[in-house]
A and B are shown apart, each in its own frame.
Chain A
Amino acid sequence: MVPTHYYLILSAVLFGLGAVAFVFKRNIITIFMSIELMLNAVNLAFVAFSQAFGKVEGQVFVLFVIVVAAAEAAVGLGIIILIQRNRQSLNIEKVNLLKL
């Protein structure tokens, strides 16, 4: 048996790595992928808790997360395509029309 908190630490580490990528990468698509990584880390935590408490609601919630992530990925990538069309660049620092 794997103790639950091993899974949780793994989840935390993955989440942290996702956060690092979120902050440091400049390519929009990579940033988006780091968001997906963070979502996966959370999924892992949910499933770990589901196994720990013996209840299956955690896994149900994971399903919902996956569905929402899918929808989000679809729309988000559409936006990214538009950005690429308008700015001819995938660098997030070029998306700065709000800058004074």
Chain B
Amino acid sequence: MPTPILDILWIIPALPLLGAAINGLFGKGWPNKIVNTVALASTGLSFLAALEAVREFFAGGQQLVHKEFFDWIVAGSFRAGFDLQMDQLTVVMVLVVTGVGFLIHIYSTGYMSHEGGYYRFFSYLNLFMFFMLILVLAANYVLLFVGWEGVGLASYLLIGFYFLKKSASDAGKKAFIVNRIGDFGFMLGMFLLFKTFGTLDFTQLFAKAVPWSHEAWGVFGTFTVACLLLFMGACGKSAQLPLYVWLPDAMEGPTPVSALIHAATMVTAGVYVVARSHILFTHSDTALIVVGTVGCATAFFAATIGLVQTDIKKVLAYSTVSQLGYMFLGCGVGAFSAGIFHLMTHAFFKALLFLAAGSVIHAMGGEQNMLHMGGLSKKIKVTYWTMLIATLAIAGFPPLAGFFSKDAILGEAFQREGGWHSLYVVGLLTALLTSFYMFRLIFLTFHGKQRYDEHHVHVHESPWSMLGPLVILAVLSIIGGWLAAPSFWGGEDHFTAFLAPVFGTGHEAALSEAAAHSLELTLAVVAVVAALIGLATAFWLYLRQPGKPAEIAKSLKPIYNTLYNKYYVDEAYGAAIVRPLLALSTNVLWKIIDVEAIDGTVNGIAHGATATGDVTRRTQSGNTRSYAVWVVVGALTILIIVFWPAIRALAGGAQ
């Protein structure tokens, strides 16, 4: 390798940018094959570059690599450069982003092959990769924010990909606007950090922050406020309460988009930021408690909504919100590496779930309503088995990935929380609900009676361009968890050890070795039992007694309706925020300020000029004698102006 990739780290984001530019500018007339080649090559090469960078990182003894490529903002003593860094956390993120991204690109070549705007799709997808890579590789908050905003833009473009459909373009707008609200908080947080520490570079800022004193619960010091503001941004980007409303609507976008952006990568940016800023967060008890509570509440809330949804993608969307809540729960109790671990495993199985759902939709010719599916397991075998693996993973069945990551979070939550273990209990309940609604999805879609008309829908398996990534992700969902097998299984927690230079080692063992083992075992068993309960309930309700769910829904109609209508949150936002703002805009800002004041002023100036012209026009009367008078007036004026002091003296002397 002539130049170490670590010296030209920028190549990792630059390759997708190049792909985006080529496809976007020139791809309009190209056949699909060429667009494919450009897009896959850029992403694939980026993945290889990332692998090589990671290899060099390991070869270099896992030292933090911080490269400054050019000065972007230099203002006084403040410097924000185009700086990229590589540490252990970045390794995890960059491999997830490029790897899963590459698989989804391959999938898209199959899924989108019959869609119009093919080149546009891949251009946007590559653009997204570029921004996401900037986000994870950034070495300071400013550059991270560039990536942050950029992925929001890419998300808007991709959600509104079918822009001729009103609901899609509305969903794109909603995503961008809600994100913006979060970004407002993020920016304020950045400003506060800059004001306090004078720098936004990660290494420098965290080094300066370490000696500051700890802020206890209820103390709203600098750290608390800054962290809460950053978390506000994370809530917007990662769809937590109350800024989650855009994610379900984002399902209007094509399924690969949902998989990549709204499952595996963009929505995890919030978790990444919290994890990256862990030094700041651990200084503030209030911030951590808020993060943990919001995460836990969101997880439960979203799971309840997911129980009754009928659109296959909506179920997965709420599941994503719920799982993101888990990640924040992990960060909130101080187990940052557990949160990141769940981020990684979730990327695998959630991307797989979305891609498989896309395969189902493709097989069903565009049908997304699960109530119109059924009995597909024999017909689309590969899709079925991969989706089943993903569901087992997300429900937390050992030895798949989800079990280890979810168990790590719940275990840490239990151990670090004192007293009521309320977060743990809610988290456990959510795990039960997760298992239930995911298996409900499986049973409704793949088992039971066939609830569609065979003559209208020709169920066919997807091409291998789509199935290949499914299989690869399924394998990752199985083995991905083994990186951090907890100790009682005999494995070592490699993952936490790997991330230790970033996060510090795990909590000091409060219990003895044996007690710790038995506690972990108990918690694991409890988690598996909860998952089994969920599975059994779904099995009973949807396979054994198919009529029962409708009966229950009817008898608990108000609850059912509330859940089905997503707790009417969108309607509440509409009434409380959107409509008043719209009224304010229309009636005050537009009609009064813009039309009357501003237009009035501008028109008034023009009107005034015209009126002045009308008056001064009278001097040009065409009448020569009046011209003569004006001559005399002019002479007099000049005389007075020139001799004014003399005139004054004269007047003064004459008095």
Residues of A within 8 A of B (CB): 19, 22-23, 26, 31, 92-93, 95-100
Whether the Cβ atoms of A22 and B622 lie closer than 8 Å is no
CB of B628 within 8 A of chain A?
A: yes
From B617, which residue of chain A is reached at the shortest CB distance? Answer: A100
Whether the Cβ atoms of B629 and A92 lie closer than 8 Å is no
Whether the Cβ atoms of B624 and A95 lie closer than 8 Å is yes
| A49 CB to nearest B CB, Å | 16
Kindly list 6 other residue pairs between chains A and B, CB separation below 8 angstroms, not including A99-B621, A100-B622.
A23-B632, A26-B625, A92-B624, A93-B624, A95-B624, A100-B621
Interface residues of B in 610-635 (CB under 8 A from A): 620-625, 628-629, 631-632, 635
Subset of 6 A-B contacts with CB under 8 Å: A23-B625, A23-B632, A92-B624, A93-B623, A97-B622, A99-B621
Question: In the complex the two chains form, what is the Cα distance from A22 to B621 in whole Å?
Answer: 18
Question: Chain B residues with Cβ under 8 A from A96's Cβ?
Answer: 622-624
| A16 CB to nearest B CB, Å | 10
Question: Chain A residues with Cβ under 8 A from B631's Cβ?
Answer: 22
Question: In the complex the two chains form, what is the Cα distance from A97 to B631 in whole Å?
Answer: 19
Question: Chain A residues with Cβ under 8 A from B624's Cβ?
Answer: 92-93, 95-96
Interface string of B594-622 (1 = CB under 8 A from A): 00000000000000000000000000111
Question: In the complex the two chains form, what is the Cα distance from A98 to B629 in whole Å?
Answer: 17
Q: Which 7 A-B pairs have the closest CB atoms?
A: A99-B622, A98-B622, A96-B622, A92-B624, A23-B628, A95-B624, A19-B632
Question: Chain A residues with Cβ under 8 A from B621's Cβ?
Answer: 99-100
Question: Chain A residues with Cβ under 8 A from B628's Cβ?
Answer: 22-23, 31
| B416 CB to nearest A CB, Å | 91
Question: In the complex the two chains form, what is the Cα distance from A92 to B622 in whole Å?
Answer: 11
Interface residues of B in 67-100 (CB under 8 A from A): none
Residues of B within 8 A of A (CB): 620-625, 628-629, 631-632, 635
Question: In the complex the two chains form, what is the Cα distance from A65 to B41 in whole Å?
Answer: 91
Whether the Cβ atoms of B623 and A99 lie closer than 8 Å is yes
Question: In the complex the two chains form, what is the Cα distance from A19 to B635 in whole Å?
Answer: 10
Question: In the complex the two chains form, what is the Cα distance from A92 to B625 in whole Å?
Answer: 7
Partner of B632, one of A22, A92, A97: A22
Question: In the complex the two chains form, what is the Cα distance from A100 to B624 in whole Å?
Answer: 13
From A94, which residue of chain B is reached at the shortest CB distance? Answer: B624
Q: A23-B625, A26-B625, A92-B625 are in contact. Are A98 and B620 (CB under 8 A)?
A: yes
| A2 CB to nearest B CB, Å | 23
Question: Chain B residues with Cβ under 8 A from A92's Cβ?
Answer: 624-625
From A96, which residue of chain B is reached at the shortest CB distance? Answer: B622
From B631, which residue of chain A is reached at the shortest CB distance? Answer: A22
Question: In the complex the two chains form, what is the Cα distance from A100 to B621 in whole Å?
Answer: 7
| B146 CB to nearest A CB, Å | 63
Question: In the complex the two chains form, what is the Cα distance from A98 to B626 in whole Å?
Answer: 13
Question: Chain B residues with Cβ under 8 A from A93's Cβ?
Answer: 623-625
Question: Chain A residues with Cβ under 8 A from B625's Cβ?
Answer: 23, 26, 92-93
Which of A26, A97, A99 counts the most B-chain CB atoms under 10 A from its CB? A99
| A25 CB to nearest B CB, Å | 9
| B211 CB to nearest A CB, Å | 84
| A52 CB to nearest B CB, Å | 18
| A90 CB to nearest B CB, Å | 12
Question: Chain A residues with Cβ under 8 A from B620's Cβ?
Answer: 98
| B635 CB to nearest A CB, Å | 8
From A16, which residue of chain B is reached at the shortest CB distance? Answer: B632
From A100, which residue of chain B is reached at the shortest CB distance? Answer: B622
Question: In the complex the two chains form, what is the Cα distance from A31 to B631 in whole Å?
Answer: 13
| A64 CB to nearest B CB, Å | 21
Question: Chain B residues with Cβ under 8 A from A99's Cβ?
Answer: 621-623
| B499 CB to nearest A CB, Å | 88
Question: In the complex the two chains form, what is the Cα distance from A48 to B427 in whole Å?
Answer: 113
Question: Chain B residues with Cβ under 8 A from A95's Cβ?
Answer: 624
| B404 CB to nearest A CB, Å | 94
From B618, which residue of chain A is reached at the shortest CB distance? Answer: A100
| A79 CB to nearest B CB, Å | 13
Question: Chain A residues with Cβ under 8 A from B632's Cβ?
Answer: 19, 22-23
From A98, which residue of chain B is reached at the shortest CB distance? Answer: B622
Question: In the complex the two chains form, what is the Cα distance from A93 to B624 in whole Å?
Answer: 6
Question: In the complex the two chains form, what is the Cα distance from A96 to B622 in whole Å?
Answer: 5
Question: In the complex the two chains form, what is the Cα distance from A44 to B28 in whole Å?
Answer: 89
Question: In the complex the two chains form, what is the Cα distance from A33 to B625 in whole Å?
Answer: 15
From B620, which residue of chain A is reached at the shortest CB distance? Answer: A98
Question: In the complex the two chains form, what is the Cα distance from A84 to B632 in whole Å?
Answer: 26
